[in-house]
Structure 1
Amino acid sequence: MAGMDNTISDSPFILGTMDFGTRVGTDEAFALLDSFVAGGGVWLDTANCYSFWADSSGVGGASERVIGAWLRARPGARDVVRIATKVRQNPLVPHTWPQSAEGLSARAVRTGVEESLRRLGVDHVDLLWAHAEDRTVPMAETVGAFGELVAKGTALRVGAANHTAWRVERARSLAREQGVEPWTALQLRHSLVQPRPLTRLTEAGHRLLADEDLDLAQSEGLTVWSYSSLMWGSYVRTDKPLPRTYDHPGTAGVLAVLDDVAGELSATKNQVVLAWLMRQGIDPIVGASRVEQIEEALAARRVRLDDEHLARFAEAR
């Protein structure tokens, strides 16, 4: 790919591609991917189920197909990006989720990954996620299937999305017993504002990052990715209000501090939120529909929050 540096380096910012092929057309997605890579971005996050709810087919795969088409159109692109995808949630029967979600049986995991590789046009993924828990399948079976894929080189690393900390630790223990690669990454929903405690999220399948997740990650050296990091634009768009579960005094206080800090640092509010996440060692996933949003998010790497900023946000809660 012309002008592309063929070295891969870690980047704390992940491009979320959930809407590619559905709400974001192919040409727009190509422009976003080009801008992301040109700005030094590395990780692409997708899933085999993206986005079945927005696709007339009723099944996923659109996002992976668009990424695959981009890779074919950009010689050398595979050498400079890392690809993360997920199995567990893709409907096996159109328009029947969650009843027909594929699950995490060994057969489902293998089949799901094979189909993802075909759509992406690659021989391996850099990180494979278990998209959600599947308590109908013995955990030892799921752990063995993921470990087998790493042993074959089909996935270079494996991680757990939307899993409780105790199940992740249990899975890691089982991996040690089986002598296979354990989950070494967590993906959970997290942002600067937090919902009222003990309230149910309206978004099906979402699990919030909790203190025990961070404790586990820090003690075991696990990578943490956050999704819904910018709350669907709610920090900056009046037409995108926060969900009602975020309507409490702590949110108002945090938003006031956010406005002040953004002004002090000559940064956008979105950039401050991303910087706040990265300051805690959390790698944010950010979706985009315009190139300017990619550029804004990448620039957040230059925003520096100090301990005093962190304390102000903590006190506002």
Structure 2
Amino acid sequence: MKQRRIGGESGLDTSALCLGSMHFGTRTDEATAFAVLDRFLEAGGTFIDTANTYAFWVEGGTGEESEALLGRWLSSRGVRDQVVLATKVGALPVPLDAPWPQAAEGLSREVLTRQAEASLKRLGTDRIDVYYSHIEDRRTPLEETVTAFGDLVARGTVRLLGCSNHAAWRIEQARALARQLGVAGYTCVQQRATYLRPGPAADFGVNPHVSDELLDYVRSEPELTLLGYSTLLGGALSRSDRPVPEQYNHPGTPARLSVLGRVARELGATPNQVALAWQMHSSPSVLPVIGVSSVAQLDECLAAVDLELDSHHLEQLNSA
């Protein structure tokens, strides 16, 4: 597995793919999840992503399932020091059946401190390698959030900070405040990102698609790492039985899917593999967070790491 550094020169080395574990312990049973995790590690994968919300929306879910399963896997395999572990805070509804995202727990000092400790316990570890603010919280003063995150880093509880589902201007505002206060700031940004382009009126709620402004911002900030989630749109890039989400259902999408398929045929690859390779070859480079529910799906994604796209292929993909 190819490696890359996240969070700038003083950051961490990780695998070129990040394994998402959203449904581990709920829709993906423990035996299957363990098999996927074992295969990922065997293939050189080191970067694993979870959250304190996965997956509260599944019937009977509490949001603790994914972290707890990962804790059991890490303990049973004795591999904590071999992985870069990321989790998130701020989006869990309180109480669980309250309207979301209106009832999200937010990013107050009390929440960040309490939930970091809870995540550590479930994961069975003494540190979180990457800790994300999961969604924006405009109710809590930004200085409170920034200083609380900075304190977690200063204490050694967290190594790198990140944000997800944030507007570019809010990210810069938080990072500028962190610099002003002399505390650690965000160096990882995780955003919805895929090969297809959303329509001009697409609405993703509090989980926005990566914007041109954010791409430009990351491109100009070498210490920032951009990670993309929902990269394969649940199979819609390659399976005729999986409809394209409505936000991407517009006249430009068929042409883009056609080019994706053509490049895949030329390279003897799958559309999913080309889409992942395109992200990794883009500027700024996107580190894909992949969500799989079987070892076979994982193996397909792993092959994308070594797929080379030349300038001709990139021109076709970018101009479609």
Note if contact 1:68-1:120 (Cα within 8 Å) is conserved in structure 2.
yes
Note if contact 1:60-1:91 (Cα within 8 Å) is conserved in structure 2.
no
Q: Where do 5+ consecutive residues of structure 1 fail to align?
A: 1-7
In 1: Cα distance, 2:247 partner to 2:219 partner: 29
Tell me the CA shift for residue 36 of structure 1. 0.4
Note if contact 2:14-2:84 (Cα within 8 Å) is conserved in structure 1.
no
**Which residue in the other structure is 2:272 paired with?**
270
Note if contact 1:87-1:130 (Cα within 8 Å) is conserved in structure 2.
yes
**Which residue in the other structure is 1:213 paired with?**
214
User: What SS does the corresponding residue of 2:93 show, helix, strand or coil?
Assistant: coil
**Corresponding position: 1:91 with 2:93:** yes
In 1: Cα distance, 2:270 partner to 2:83 partner: 27
Give runs of aligned pairs for residues 190-269 of structure 1, distance below 5 A.
190-201=193-204, 204-221=205-222, 222-269=224-271
**Which residue in the other structure is 2:66 paired with?**
63
In 1: Cα distance, 2:269 partner to 2:75 partner: 36
TM-score by length of 1: 0.93
**Which residue in the other structure is 1:5 paired with?**
none
Moved more, 87-96 or 60-69: 87-96
What is the letter of the counterpart of residue 146 of structure 1?
A: F
In 1: Cα distance, 2:74 partner to 2:238 partner: 32
**Which residue in the other structure is 1:4 paired with?**
none
**Which residue in the other structure is 1:32 paired with?**
36
- Counting strand residues as a fraction of each chain, which structure ranks higher? 2
RMSD: 1.3
Note if contact 2:192-2:231 (Cα within 8 Å) is conserved in structure 1.
yes
What is the letter of the counterpart of residue 240 of structure 1?
A: R
Alignment coverage as a number of residue pairs: 305
Note if contact 1:91-1:102 (Cα within 8 Å) is conserved in structure 2.
yes
**Corresponding position: 1:107 with 2:132:** no
**Which residue in the other structure is 1:3 paired with?**
none
In 2: Cα distance, 1:253 partner to 1:259 partner: 10
Q: 1:46 aligns with which of 47, 50, 53?
A: 50
**Which residue in the other structure is 1:74 paired with?**
77
**Corresponding position: 1:117 with 2:120:** yes
User: What SS does the corresponding residue of 2:216 show, helix, strand or coil?
Assistant: helix
Tell me the CA shift for residue 240 of structure 1. 1.2
Tell me the CA shift for residue 199 of structure 1. 2.1
Q: Percent identity?
A: 45
TM-score by length of 2: 0.93
In 2: Cα distance, 1:9 partner to 1:296 partner: 23
What is the letter of the counterpart of residue 291 of structure 2?
A: G
Change (3 A) 1:105 1:9: closer
Q: Deviations over 1:96-130 (max 9, x none)?
A: 14243211011111111111001001010110000
Give runs of aligned pairs for residues 275-294 of structure 1, distance below 5 A.
275-280=277-282, 281-294=285-298
**Corresponding position: 1:175 with 2:189:** no
